[in-house]
Structure formats: structure tokens, C-alpha cells
Chain A
Amino acid sequence: MASITGSAISFAAPALRRSQAVNKLSSLNSVSFFSARKSFPSIGSAPLRLQISCAAKKETLDKVCEIVKKQLALADGTAVTGESKFTELGADSLDTVEIVMGLEEAFEISVDEGSAQEIATVQDAADLIEQLVEAKA
């Protein structure tokens, strides 16, 4: 599975992938950690992702869902999929840092704040994990 890391290609991937709401609001519960979206593509070390989905392995996604469900103490029937947004699941900033730390420990990776702030959905987290794991290998 191909993945593209580094900044060789200037892809406005983060801005394209997400639908823009007319009145942009930062998350309703004012999470300072995950921003809903930036109005400009992020610069610096945030990994770039292809528009065409090179989706993370299912087992990665499942593991992320498991960690998220546990942290947020979600009821058993709650559906958590790749599309689930952390803010919609009720994650506040402390939940978010705990989730990131949980993911770091489970996958033996290190997530910088800039990358973490780009994560809006469970899928985003799984994709980032895969890229970091591959970069390590």
C-alpha cells in the first residue's frame, strides 16, 4: 500500500478532504486540541495524504475504535466507524490527549501536536498511525 510522506508534493489534501461548513465553528465544546479545520493547508511537519483513499488497515482502525470507545466510555451499542468525528463522540481536550497517548503506546509511535491537531475523525487517526508506523520501519 503506497503512502506519501514528506513535503515533496504540495497537495492541499487536508483542505480538500473535509466539507466546509458555511459558518465555520470551532468544535462546540471548545476543544483546543483538535481544531475543526484550518482555513489554510497546514505547513510544517503534518503528513500529507492522498485524496484517493489509501485507507489504513482494518486492524489499525479497529484498534483505534477500541481505544476511543474505552476512553470515552461509550455505551456498548454506540457505532464508532472511521467517519466518526471525535468532537461528535463528545471528546473534550483531556479525552483527546489521553486518546493520543493511548494510540502512541499501542502502536509505539510518537505523535507531535501539529499532526494531532489535524485529526478530526477516527479514520484520520488510523491513517496517521499507519504513516508513522511505516516511517519508523
Chain B
Amino acid sequence: MNQFIRRGMLPMQGGVLSHRLFASLPPLTPSPLPSRREAHLWYVVPDELKDASQLKKYMELLSSCERERVLSMNGERLQKGALLSRALVRTTLARYCRVNPQSIKFKTSKFGKPEIMWQHGDQCNQPSLQFNVSHSSSLIACGITVDVPIGIDVEEKQRKTMSSISSLARRYFSPSEVEYLGSFSNTDARQKEFIKLWTLKEAYVKALGRGFSGAPFKDFTIRLEATKAMQLAAVPRVHIEADSDPEYLTDNWEFALFELSSSHYAAVCMERDISHSGRENEPLRLKVWKTIPFVEDEFVSGTNAVKYICGLS
């Protein structure tokens, strides 16, 4: 698909419109829902947003509880990140639901995973939107699917750890992953592989939605495997370790790993669609937009901003 830039042109429909909000912000461009085997990803680069009045407008979208959370973050940079994170979630969901981003209500599942709390009469509860957010200090992303749980994670490619990769891997990763990382003698390469593996594992845990203790990193392995179909590209697959408790860990998940914005590794994990037999091995389809909500949207799939590593069609 060609890269293009869209500016908000269509009016928002439905929902409760705050007059003040409507007057001060241009509308969000509505987006068609992802198809069943598709994930959408919207991301924002905080450093590109320096307009204080724009940030103030985002603040107005948040619930009072969210505002409190933003202001409790330590320092301006963290506050900005927290603000943009909430603004990104609300505006992204609003694109699909055609509602005022301010009106969306959230709850947490009993395991702590954020979910949309549908109100009576909401247009968006059938089919149900699923979302997941991740951010590094320099990029915030929100993944969207329809019906199936999704987990995403982004990490800076150059992220350096305080501890050595091998000690982190030994403490947290599965034995075969430790072996895999150990096969890289070049420390730079090993560091990059660690980050890639980390994002994949983190995305899986977040997709499961039970928190870190519900899916300890040591209890599962993610590795590339050749697909059953006659494709050359391998896809990441999750394997549950033999001696782990399989109660919460399931393996019917699909992964995509890619470079995002040249600066990050990003992983998307969504539940595999087993309702259509024979299509289990179709890779995940992904569409990516870069956004400054209410200012600029840019479809970046197929550009250098999204560089496939594995798992994507």
C-alpha cells in the first residue's frame, strides 16, 4: 500500500460530545475495523510532540483518575509519556468506535489487564475491540484487534541492560533460549537477539493477560520454526516447557516481530484463529500507522518505518 498522509476530515458520529472538546480539536479520522486475522498498530513518537497547547488538549481527554496518575509520574518526561500513552489509547479506540475519546471507560480484568468497559448502547461492543499498549521512553504504541486478545511490546533496539545478557537470560529465560543467546559470540548481536526475544515473550505474557507471575518467562520458549506451508520464512512459535504448570499457558498464539521507526523492535502476539482450518499457518497481517492524534496520521506499512523480521505476511 502506498504511504499517504491523512488529516482529519470527517465529523465524529455518535457518542456524547463535549462541546468544549469538539470546538477545540479537529475530528479524528475514522478507521475501518481490523479484519479477523489482522492487527492494527498506532504509534506516537513523544519527541516529535513539543506543542504544549496540544499536550494540554490531550490532557482534557483523560479521566480525572488518569490525570492524577499522569501527574504522579516523576518528572516532566515521564508525565508526558504517561499522558501520550493514555491519549493514544483513547484516540485510537475512538477511531474505530466513532465516539468521543473522552467518553471511553476502562476497567481492569481480575488479573490487572486493562480492558474497555462497554456502556449500554455503545456501537463498538459487537464485535469487541481488544487493545494493548506498550511504550519505551521514545515511542508509544497501541495495538488493536477484533475479538481476539492481543499483546504488544516495543523496546529500543539499542537498549542496554545494567546486568549482562547471559545473567539475565539464565535468571529469566528458558534453557533453550539461554542456549540460543549463548550461540552469539558477538556481544552486540547477542544484545539485539535478547531484546527481540524479550519483546516476543513480553507480548505473549501481555496477550495472555495474567501478569508476569501468570506466565513466568522461564516456563515457555519462543523460537523460530518453519511453517507447514511451503514458505521459506520461519515464524515465531511458543512452546510450553515440559516441567511448567500448563494451566494458564497456551500455545495457540501467533507472533510478528519487526523493526519499528528504525529505532525499536516491536512484537505483536494475537490468538490464533483456529476456526478456519487450513489457515492456521497464515501469518499475521499487520497495518501500522504513525500518528500525532488530531494533527497527522501516516500509514507506514510497506515503508522503512516497518521492517519485517519474522511472522508477518
Q: Contact residues of A with B, CB < 8 Å?
A: 21-26, 28-30, 32-40, 70-71, 74-75, 78, 84-85, 88-90, 92-94, 97-98, 101-102, 104, 112-114, 116-117
Contacts and interface: CB of A to CB of B under 8 A. Distances in A.
A101 B168 contact: yes
A89 B108 CA distance: 22
Interface residues of B, number: 47
Given A32-B202, A39-B108, A102 B163 contact: yes
A28 B108 contact: no
Contact of A30 (B65, B132, B168, B198): B132
A24 B105 CA distance: 11
B212 A98 contact: no
Contacts of B65: 21-23, 25
4 interchain residue pairs of minimum CB distance: A35-B112, A113-B213, A33-B212, A23-B65
Interface of B: 63, 65-66, 68-70, 72-75, 78, 81-82, 85-86, 105-108, 110-114, 132-137, 155, 159, 161-163, 167-168, 171-172, 198, 202, 205-206, 211-213, 216
Contact of B81 (A23, A29, A94): A29
A98 B161 CA distance: 8
Contacts of B86: 28
A78 B74 contact: yes
A23 B69 CA distance: 11
Q: Most chain-B CB neighbours within 10 Å: which of A36, A37, A113, A114? A: A113
A32 B212 contact: yes
A94 B191 CA distance: 13
Given A78-B74, A88-B72, A98-B168, 8 more contacts: A23-B63, A23-B107, A26-B108, A30-B135, A36-B108, A94-B159, A102-B162, A116-B212
B216 A29 contact: no
A113 B212 contact: yes
15 contacts: A22-B65, A28-B82, A28-B86, A32-B202, A36-B108, A37-B112, A78-B75, A90-B73, A92-B135, A97-B171, A97-B172, A98-B162, A102-B162, A113-B213, A117-B213
B217 to A, nearest CB: 8
B146 to A, nearest CB: 20
Contacts of B66: 23, 25
